[in-house]
Amino acid sequence: MARNQEKAMSMLSRWYKYQRELHNPGGPEKRPYLATECHSLQEAEKWRLQIIKEIARKVSQIQNAGLGEFRIRDLNDEINKLIREKGHWQDRIVELGGPNYHKIGPKMLDHEGQELPGNRGYKYFGAAKDLPGVRELFEEEPPKPPRKTRGDLMKDIDAYYYGYLDDEDGVLMKLEEEVEKKARHLAIEEWKLKKETGELDKELEEEERKEREEEEKRRKELQEKKDDDTEDTSTDEHTIAPLEVPSQKDVEIELLRKKKMELLLKYASEDLQRTSMNAKTLMGRDLNI
C-alpha cells in the first residue's frame, strides 16, 4: 500500500512539474544579482517581498540551537547578506518612484537581531547570540562604583574610627576578663605540672645560673672600663702641652719694643737710662715687656 502511495506522489510531482514548464517555458525567473539591473517598479517590489520571505524563513531556522555552531554561523551570515540586499532593493524602489520603505516599512525582522557595541551593521539572530565568543561580548560589564571624594571619606571618621569609645559599652572589658581568666588558669595548671615533674626547680636553677653569668660579665666590663680610664689618665700626665705660637700682631709689638730699646741705648745717657728704669719699676712694668 505504501508503495502505491509513493508512486502516486511521484506521478503527481511530475504532473506539477509539467504544468509549471507549460506555463513558464523558460523555467523559474531568477532574481537579478544587482538591483540596478531592474527597471520595473513592480518587479522591484516583487523581489523585495521575496527577500523578506527568505529572511523570515532563515530567522525561524536559526532559533534552533541544535543545528550546530557552523550551520548557525552560516545562517547568520546569510541573514545579514539578505538584509543588505533588501536595503539595495528599497533604494532602487525609491529611484523608480516608489515608496520609501526605509521609513514606512516594517522592521520586525531587523529588530530581532542584536548588534555588538562598536560593530555597526552586522547583527546576531536567535541561537547565534549564544555562540562561543559571542555570548561574552554581549555580557555588559558591571558599572564601576563611583569614586569617593575626600569629603565622603571623612564623613565616616569619628571617635569610634580611632577606637576612643571601644570601652564605653563594656563589651571589650568582658571579653578581656574572660581571656584573662583562661590565661591565668592555664598558667596555674602549667606551673603545677612543672612543679610535680621537677621542671620548675630546673628552670629556677637555670635562671639563677644565667643571672650569675650576667652579673660576672657586668663586673668584668666595669673593671675593664676602670683600667682603660687609669691608662688614659697616666697618658695625659706625661703629655707635653703644645707651644703657643705668637700671632702677627705679637711679633710686630716685640719688634717695636726691641727697636725702642736699641735707640734708647744708643742715644740716651746712663743717668737717663737709670731714671727711665726706675720710673718703669715704680709703675709696675718690667723692662723686657
pLDDT digits (tens, 9 = 90+) for 74-129: 999 999 999 889 889 889 989 888 888 888 877 766 667 777 776 777 888 888 88
Q: What are phi and psi of 32, to 5 degrees?
A: -60, 145
Residue 110 cell numbers, joined: 531587523
User: Residues 26, 54: contact at Cβ < 8 Å?
Assistant: no
Q: How far apart are CA 80 and CA 120, in angstroms?
A: 12
User: Residues 29, 57: contact at Cβ < 8 Å?
Assistant: no
Q: How far apart are CA 93 and CA 41, in angstroms?
A: 6
pLDDT winner (highest mean) among 70-79, 237-246, 260-269: 70-79
Q: Which amino acid is at 263?
A: L
- Nearest-Å Rg of the Cα atoms of the chain is 60
pTM of the predicted structure, to 2 decimals = 0.42
Per residue in 149-173, pLDDT (tens digit) is 888 888 878 777 777 776 666 777 7
Q: How far apart are CA 260 and CA 289, in angstroms?
A: 12
